[in-house]
Structure 1
Amino acid sequence: MSLVLDGSTAAAAQELRSRHGLLRTIRTKVGAAVLTLAFVLVFNFFLFRVLPGDPAKNLTRNRAVPPEQIAEMRRGFGLDQPLWRQFLAYLKSTATGDLGISWQYHTEVSRLIADRFWPTLLLVGLSTLLAAAIGVWLGIRSAWKRGSRFDRISDLLTNALYAVPTFWLGLVLLIAFGGLFPTGNMITHGLDPLSAEGVLDVAWHLVLPVLAMTITYLAQYSMVMRSSLLDEMGADYLTTARAKGLRDDLVRRRHAVPNALLPTMTLIFLNIGFIISGAVTVERIFSWPGLGQLSYDALKTPDFPVLQGTFLVFSASVIVANLLSDVLLTVFDPRVRDS
């Protein structure tokens, strides 16, 4: 009886230590994310101040404008203040959620970002779902049929696609299929995006930019999934499952794939943040009215409030995606949690 009690007590103590370790790890990850975001907040201010050119002059498009008017514009933008005062004003406004007024569009930066966020989310979200689904399927089938013709062809294609820059693929698609699909904007002018015709029109405009991003990123998911599943295929628990009489497809679906998915899921979450910031080139090529296009337009002025706001959103998306991937990996993988 005492042995049973000792065993249950030891198991409870182990579970309690594991739970405390999980909470401690999550607190550490959250603290690191907060510190990183604080560094980005400071770096964000000084990064765009080193850009060449005078924003006030650039906004006049090099027209003959009196120096007094240029000075008045600089005063309105706050550029006549010392750098440390500009920095303190930036910290105060950002802490209250005020990202400032765009010098180019003369509207609130937070409203501009909110309007442009949904087109980027639609583009990135759809691309990520398609790339993850196709890439994971390719990786599973290639690993399970290692050495087959399908595996060799898939391995060749994924390695080739992994080396292709997204912007280059976008240009190729634009040249090759520009006559079949729309090459700019999100919807035909005059259509209601909430109507049936408008939804179909948006989907038609999505084809080329989504294809460019999906093809590029599915190669990563396929390669990681294939490598992870190949590592799992030699594990003892799969041999045990086969010895119990389970069919090969059940062994793969119930045992091998769930364990091999962890690295791929981590990569998907990591890529979500980078894809949002990396959509700048695709949005520029296809004139997609998202955050990437907004950043490109602001860079030409340069429009400091818009650049600071979009850079903060891009950085926060990467930090949050990293945090989510770390937390999920800690929760679902006992090896990480126990370490």
Structure 2
Amino acid sequence: MTDALTTVEPPAAATPRGGGGGTLRYVLSKVGAALISLGLIVVLGFVLFRVLLPGDPVRTLTRGAPVTPEGAAALEREYGFDLPLWGQFTRYLGNLAHGDLDRSLVFKVPVAQKIGERLGPTLLLVGVGTLIAVVLGLWLGTRTAWRRGSRFDRTATGIALALWSAPTFWLGLVLLTATGGLFPSGGITYPDTPPDFLSQALDTAHHMVLPTITLVAVVYAQYQLVMRSSLVEEMHAEHLLTARAKGLRDDEVRRRHAVPNALLPTVTLVFLHLGLVVSGAITVETVFSWPGLGLLTFEALRFPDYPLLQGTFLVLAAAVVVMNLVADLLLRVLDPRVRAS
């Protein structure tokens, strides 16, 4: 009797998790959440500055000068303040869909134009400050973690916590007082600086010293403490024991194995907080009269300038949403655990 041959089919290959479909779903979900957040920001900006913020737009337009009822009515029609709130909101959405942020009540120019003029100084200050804060925070976080419990660790961590908890405006005023006029107290350049690039660049760098130090002092501690915590946790991993058993020196173990793994949460934190740093520069720019979006927001609040407030709020809040989206997408690229989920 011949034995029946049983055909055994190979098991079906398991579909890898986190493949192309999973990545697409992840990206679409994050982009969708960001768009919903932007929509809520648009609504919140209108409610905050058109409903809850007190003030008379006609008085702002005329700077308190006497105006006839006919003139006041004409100004209200020009800016749409004569419409009911629902009509004003519909007009606002229509203008926003065409990239029109309305006209500033105080500066009498399009809001988008005014924001564009002030965006460069803010990006310069925030960019330089964030770069220095990241480098300083990562370096100190690595050193304090590797020498945890030492006097250096206690001192550096204590200073970071103290600066992190200090009010930004107070720290800026302390620096202004302590330097005794060594650095400019406001502005971005002196009016009499020669127009050539080198002179302007040096003058701008001179004006940036105090606001940059203030911004770095209140930001770098976050990166230092997160990097320290991540590296301390990573130092107990088994693969570091294996690396030491192979004869690698401590510096090589830290540089090749411990630091790259500990960097992941810190890199994510950098992008998560980058948008917050942009919006948080309001205090620094106000203290040092730095002509960026932060100072522009403060100036708009003084009158108040409703269209300008709505525009700056939209830009600053959108920066937070966009940076959060970038952090979420970057996290999936860097962390294999997120790709596998």
Answering whether residue 33 of structure 2 is matched by residue 32 of structure 1, we say yes
| Mapping of residues 243-322 of structure 1, within 5 Å | 243-322=245-324
Cα-to-partner distance string for 1:193-225 (whole Å, 9 max, x where unaligned): 652111100000000000000011111111110
Q: Are residues 253 and 89 of structure 1, via their aligned partners in 2, closer, same or farther at CA, if it must alter by over 3 Å?
A: same
TM-fit CA distance, 1:65:
3.2
2:73 to 71, 74, 81: 71
In structure 2, do the counterparts of structure 1 residues 193 and 247 end up closer, same or farther at CA, with 3 Å as the change threshold?
farther
Letter in 2 for 1:297: E
CA distance in 1 between counterparts of 2:283 and 2:62 reads 27
For 2:329, the aligned partner's letter is V
CA distance in structure 2 between the aligned counterparts of 1:187 and 1:144, rounded to whole angstroms: 42
Q: Matches of 2:296 and 2:10 in 1, distance apart?
A: 64
User: Which residue of the partner structure matches residue 62 of structure 2?
Assistant: 60
Q: Give 1:23 shift.
A: 2.4
Distance 2:144 2:10 in 1: 48
* Deviation of 1:185 (Å): 0.5
Letter in 1 for 2:42: L
1:85 Cα deviation (Å)? 1.2
Distance 2:259 2:326 in 1: 21
CA contact 2:176–2:185 (8 Å) conserved in 1? yes
Q: How far 1:264 sits from its partner (Å)?
A: 0.8
- Larger mean CA deviation between 317-326 and 293-302 belongs to 293-302
Counterpart AA for 1:114: G
Instruction: Look up the equivalent residue of 2:117 and give its one-letter code.
Output: D
Asked if 1 retains the 8 angstrom alpha-carbon contact of 2:103 and 2:111, the reply is yes
User: In the alignment, residue 92 of structure 2 is paired with which amino acid?
Assistant: Y
Is this contact kept in 1: 2:183–2:206, CA < 8 A?
yes
Match of 2:211 in 1: 209
2:48 aligned with 1:47: yes
Aligned residue for 2:112?
A: 110
Cα displacement (A) at 1:106: 1.1
Q: Which protein is bigger by CA-based radius of gyration?
A: 2
Which residue number corresponds to residue 22 of structure 1?
Answer: 23
Amino acid at match of 1:24: R
CA contact (8 A) 1:193 1:202 kept: no
Amino acid in the other structure paired with 1:211: I
Amino acid at match of 2:332: T
Read off the aligned partner of 1:55 and give its amino acid letter: P
- Aligned-pair identity (%): 54
- Kindly tell me: are residues 192 and 337 of structure 1, through their superposed partners in 2, closer, same or farther at Cα, counting changes over 3 Å? farther
1:133 aligns with 2:135: yes
Change (3 A) 1:107 1:192: farther
Task: Quote how far apart the aligned CAs of 1:330 are.
Answer: 1.3
Q: TM-score, normalised by structure 2?
A: 0.93
SS of residue in 1 equivalent to 2:19: helix
Per-residue Cα deviation, 1:203-257 (whole angstroms, up to 9, x for no partner): 0000000000001111111111000000100011111111222221111111111
- Equivalent residue pairs, number: 332
Q: CA deviation at 1:6?
A: 6.5
Contact kept, 8 Å, 1:103 with 1:303, in 2: the verdict is: yes
Distance 1:65 1:136, change over 3 A: same
Distance apart, 1:77 and its partner CA: 1.8
| Counterpart amino acid of residue 102 in structure 1 | S
Matches of 2:66 and 2:91 in 1, distance apart?
31
State the secondary structure of the residue aligned to 2:31. Answer: helix
Identify unmatched segments of 5+ residues in structure 1. none
CA shift for structure 1 position 293: 0.8
For the residues of structure 1 that align with 2:185 and 2:195, how far apart are their CA atoms? Answer: 18
2-structure distance, mates of 1:192, 1:102: 31
Aligned to 1:240: 242
Equivalent residue number for residue 3 of structure 2:
none
Q: Give me the TM-score of the superposition, normalised by structure 1.
A: 0.93
| 100, 103, 106: which one aligns with 1:101 | 103
Question: Is the deviation greater in 19-28 or in 268-277?
Answer: 19-28
Of residues 135, 138, 150, the one that matches 1:148 is 150
Query: For each residue in 1:109-137, what CA deviation from the matched residue of structure 2 results, as whole angstroms up to 9, or x when unmatched?
Result: 11111110000000000000000100110
In the TM superposition, what whole-angstrom CA distance separates every residue of 1:9-32 from its partner, at most 9, and x where no partner exists? 847x32x64333222212111110
| RMSD of Structure 2 on Structure 1 (CA) | 1.8
Query: Distance between the aligned counterparts of 1:159 and 1:43, measured in 2?
Result: 33
Aligned counterparts of 1:134 and 1:106: Cα–Cα separation in 2: 43
Does the CA-based 8 Å contact 1:187-1:193 persist in structure 2?
no
User: Which shows bigger deviation, 204-213 or 45-54?
Assistant: 45-54
Taking the aligned partners of 2:63 and 2:89, their CA distance within structure 1 comes to 27
Which position in structure 2 is the counterpart of 1:182? Answer: 184
* The one of 142, 146, 159 aligned to 2:161: 159
Higher mean Cα deviation, 183-192 or 208-217?
183-192
CA contact (8 A) 1:117 1:290 kept: yes
